[in-house]
Every structure is written in structure tokens, then in C-alpha cells.
Amino acid sequence: MSAVPAVVIAAPASGSGKTTVSTGLIGALRAAGHRVAPFKVGPDYIDPGYHAVAAGTVGRNLDPNLVGPELVGPLFAAGAAGADIAVVEGVMGLFDGRILPEETGAEDPAAFGSTAHVARLIGAPVVLVVDAAGHSQSLAAVLHGFIGYDPSIRIVGVILNRVGSDRHETVLRQACSRVGLPVVGVLRRDPGLQVPSRHLGLIPAAERRDDAVRAVAAMTATLGAALDLPAIVAAAQSSLRPAVTPWSADDAVAAHCRVADVGARPRVAVAGGAAFTFGYAEHRELLTAAGADVVGFDPLVDPLPADTDAVVIGGGFPEEHAEALSANEPLRSGLAAHARSGRPIVAECAGLLYLASELDGHPMAGVLDVAGRFGPTLTLGYRDAVAVTDSVAFAAGERVTGHEFHRSTVHAGVHAPDPAWAWRDHRGHPGSHGFASGAVHASYLHVHPAGSPAAVVRFVEHARAHAERTERTGRAG
């Protein structure tokens, strides 16, 4: 089996138009008859939602920080299975990755977890999207620098974005020609292609629904006309990495435990809908492989599904939906009763806020004696964390690398559980974070489940123990 052809869409800097180009390219390739596998470098949850609309299949993430570099190739192979081409959208600038003090003076020019790092790991060529609005002949020098900075990264073409006129395009094409890079697409300035944003970036596709479908259709039509699709497909077919064994949820679970052949299949309810859009596709796959029956629910409108043994509430934007979440009193009281009964709950970021007693004055589920507040300060970055309290997900002493991304804070009351994590901030100052008890694990930290499959297994085992108890005594609902 040969590796699936792939192309990485990167840029010299953030804000160059990677998401618009990547989404439109995915849609245009699909319209041309390709089966496209979409990926995003880094911990971003929003861009994969637009990729999924364009591709008609789930978008996935590739992040060496969260899963380790050794898993990037297998996760790519698993996500690309059945496709004939993969499109990988980069993060920030091509060589931008995790900022660590020990990286000062590092010999490798590709920062750990950068787009360049991932491109190297999967052996894929790079097409640069350049915001050409302020460029003229000097673009040649910029491209020359990117080509020569790390010769192991194969930059094979340029997409010129926000080009002002025919004359401007001619000058830019000449600049690209001087350094030997073909232009594989030209986009004129078009404010209509912008995806609406707010405090944490683009508005998720799941919140925009029909508007998102229309936006993706517009990107598909525009990029289909602006790009040289045959040239991009040919570039993707020059991928160099040999085929690797695809990641498998079953194998990942089997490596950490032996799932019992007999016993209850616990029912795990996973929050979704417009308020909880953040999550990794591999999470549901691992839950199922560990023996759970997974059911989705929308906290904006649904009660807790019947016979739920455990609950997962991921990230999202509860502050945008606080009134509606508060109005769903049956779910709030159901979650509180679920927690009181000792049934497991794992919550990340938005899920933490929803388990709070209140968020900006709106009553929430009241599972935790904490209050949530939305604020002006962005907290962002990778965290090397150690679990400090035994919980349904992690044993004390377990270490993970996760990611924080929020503008809210939580303020603990006197009855708040013990901390979930400890880590040091970028200044080296220690701190404790999140909350953990016997039944609940909740924090701002996003952890990729493929990087911590043992935590998923532990969670399902706790859910199975509850399911077996209720089978013996009769379910209480």
C-alpha cells in the first residue's frame, strides 16, 4: 500500500488566508471528483469544522506536541484511509511552533510542532499562501529566504492572495519566477470571502450551519476558478514518505489494557451542538474501542440521554450561549444528579464552565462549587502537566502535554474539589489548575485522546463499573 498523496498549505505568517485557501481547495478537489482527507496542524478545533463541510468527511488534527512526533504519521495514515488526496492546513507561519526556552539556539530550523515539522513527518510538499497586498518585487527575497531556510522542506508553489490588479499580478509572478517557484493560484481582494470572527478566532461552522455551508460553497467556487488544480494534485503526488501502519483505536486501547470480552457496555454521552464544538475525532473512536456505546446530545436543547453511565463535555463557546444553556434546567439538574450518584464526568474548558455553579450570572449545572467569568485576557499555550489527584481519567502522577485556549476564568468556592493538574507557566512559576474528585475531572486543559489512550480506558472502566452496578440493582435513570 502506498502513502496517500498530500499537500501542505502554509504561509509566511498568520492572517495570510490559509483557512480560506485550504477550505476552498478541499471543496474544489471534491467537486472535481477527488476523495479528500482534510487535516489541520496544531490544536485548532475550528478550522477542521470548515474542512469537514468542504470535504464531506471529518476533519482531523496533526499535533506532535499533543501526541508525540511518532504518532503523526500513523494518525495521518488513518485519517487519509480511503482518500486519494490529503490537504493539510498549516498553523501560523511555516516555521512557527511551540516556544520553549531550551529551543534557543536549536539546530533544527523547524520549531517543534510547526507546519514545517509536520510536513517533514508526513513527507508532504508545501505550497505557500502569500498575502500579496503589501508585496512587489521584494517578494522574491522573501520566498528565497523561505526556500533556503530549511532545505529539507520542499516548497513547490505559491498561491498569491489579495492581489490588487493585473499589473500587480504580473510583478508578483515575475518575483516568483526569479526564485523558481511556480504560481499555482491567484486570488484577488474579496472581502466577501472572509469568515466571520470573534474573540477566539473564526466562528465555528456548527454555530453558523446554513451560513457555513454557503460560505464554504463560495470558497469552493472562487478557489476552483483561481487555482491550478492539476498542478496542485501533481505536487501532492510527489509526497516522499513511505506508507506507515495507520493508527488504530483498537490497537491503542489494546496496548494499554485488555478490554473485557464480557460485561456491560457503558453508555457514554458526549456533548455537542453549537455550544460545544471542540473535540477530536479520535476521542469517540477510542471510547468505542474501549467498550463504550457513545451517544451525542446538545446541551442547548436536550436532556441527559436515558441510561447514561458517563458524560464527556468538551470545549466550545458557552459564554455565547449562556442564557440558553441556563434555560435547559432538565439537563442542568440531570447532570447534577448524575455527579451526585458517582457516575463519571470528564469536562474540558467549556465543559468546566458548564459544570460551574454559574457563568456570568447565569446558573449552570452546579456540579462544581466554582463561578465562571468571561474576561479580556487570553490564556493560550501548551502545558506540560502532571495529575495531582486521582480521578476517573488520570491517576495521580500521570503526565500529559495539553493546550489551553480561553478568555474566561473560574473562581473556586469553599467546597470546590482538589486540583486536577499542576504545571509551571512560561516564567517557571508553579501552579495548580482544574478540579478533580472521585467522579469528576474538569479543567481548562485540552488533551488529545490519541496521546493519552490510557485515560480513555480508565474513564470507560469507571463507567462500566457503574453500568454493572445498575444492571444488578436496576437502573435509576
Residue 322 has pLDDT above 80, yes or no: yes
When pLDDT is averaged across residues 63-92 and rounded to a whole number, the result is: 97
- 121 grid coordinates: 513527518
Residue 349 has pLDDT above 90, yes or no: yes
CB of 338 closer than 8 Å to CB of 308: yes
Residue 104 has pLDDT above 70, yes or no: no
CATH superfamily of 249-473: Class I glutamine amidotransferase (GATase) domain (3.40.50.880)
When pLDDT is averaged across residues 307-336 and rounded to a whole number, the result is: 95
List of residues 6+ apart from 399 with CB closer than 8 A = 384, 385, 386, 387
Q: Provide the percentage of residues in the chain whose pLDDT is more than 70.
A: 92
What is residue 30's predicted lDDT score, i.e. its pLDDT? Answer: 98
What is residue 468's predicted lDDT score, i.e. its pLDDT? Answer: 85
Q: Is the dihedral of CA 215, 220, 226, 228 positive or negative?
A: positive
Residue 146 has pLDDT above 70, yes or no: yes
Residue 261 has pLDDT above 70, yes or no: no
Residue 287 has pLDDT above 80, yes or no: yes
| Ranges in the chain annotated CATH 3.40.50.880 | 249-473
Residue 196's pLDDT band (cuts 50, 70, 90): low
What is residue 199's predicted lDDT score, i.e. its pLDDT? Answer: 46
Task: Count Cβ atoms below 10 Å from residue 333 Cβ, excluding itself.
Answer: 14
What is residue 242's predicted lDDT score, i.e. its pLDDT? Answer: 78
Residue 374 has pLDDT above 60, yes or no: yes
Residue 329 has pLDDT above 70, yes or no: yes
What is residue 3's predicted lDDT score, i.e. its pLDDT? Answer: 85
When pLDDT is averaged across residues 213-229 and rounded to a whole number, the result is: 94
Q: Provide the percentage of residues in the chain whose pLDDT is more than 90.
A: 78
Name which of 113-117, 135-139, 314-318, 334-338 the model is least confident about: 314-318
Residue 258's pLDDT band (cuts 50, 70, 90): low
- 38 grid coordinates: 482534510
| Ranges in the chain annotated CATH 3.40.50.300 | 6-236
Residue 472 has pLDDT above 80, yes or no: no
DSSP code for 227: B
What is residue 1's predicted lDDT score, i.e. its pLDDT? Answer: 41
Can you give the three-state secondary structure of 10-40, one letter per residue? Answer: ECCCCCCCHHHHHHHHHHHHHHCCCCEEEEE
Residue 197's pLDDT band (cuts 50, 70, 90): low
Q: What is the mean pLDDT of the chain?
A: 91
Q: Alpha-carbon distance 43 to 400, whole Å?
A: 14
What is residue 466's predicted lDDT score, i.e. its pLDDT? Answer: 87
When pLDDT is averaged across residues 194-221 and rounded to a whole number, the result is: 73
Can you give the three-state secondary structure of 166-217, one letter per residue? Answer: HHHHHHHHHHHHHCCCCEEEEEECCHHHCCCEECCEECCHHHHCHHHHHHHH
CATH superfamily of 6-236: P-loop containing nucleotide triphosphate hydrolases (3.40.50.300)
Task: Identify which has the larger pLDDT, 3 or 452.
Answer: 452
Residue 59 has pLDDT above 80, yes or no: yes
Residue 136 has pLDDT above 70, yes or no: yes
Residue 103 has pLDDT above 80, yes or no: no
Residue 476's pLDDT band (cuts 50, 70, 90): very low
Task: Identify which has the larger pLDDT, 224 or 45.
Answer: 224
Instruction: Give the pLDDT confidence of 383-435 residue by residue, as tens digits.
Output: 999 999 999 999 999 999 999 999 999 999 889 999 999 998 777 889 899 99
Reduced to 3 states, what is the DSSP secondary structure of residue 134? helix
Q: Alpha-carbon distance 413 to 422, whole Å?
A: 19
List of residues 6+ apart from 272 with CB closer than 8 A = 206, 279, 296, 297, 298
Residue 250 has pLDDT above 70, yes or no: yes
What is residue 379's predicted lDDT score, i.e. its pLDDT? Answer: 87
When pLDDT is averaged across residues 180-187 and rounded to a whole number, the result is: 98
Name which of 121-135, 293-307, 403-417 the model is least confident about: 403-417
Residue 262 has pLDDT above 50, yes or no: no
Residue 161 has pLDDT above 70, yes or no: yes
Active-site residue numbers? 349
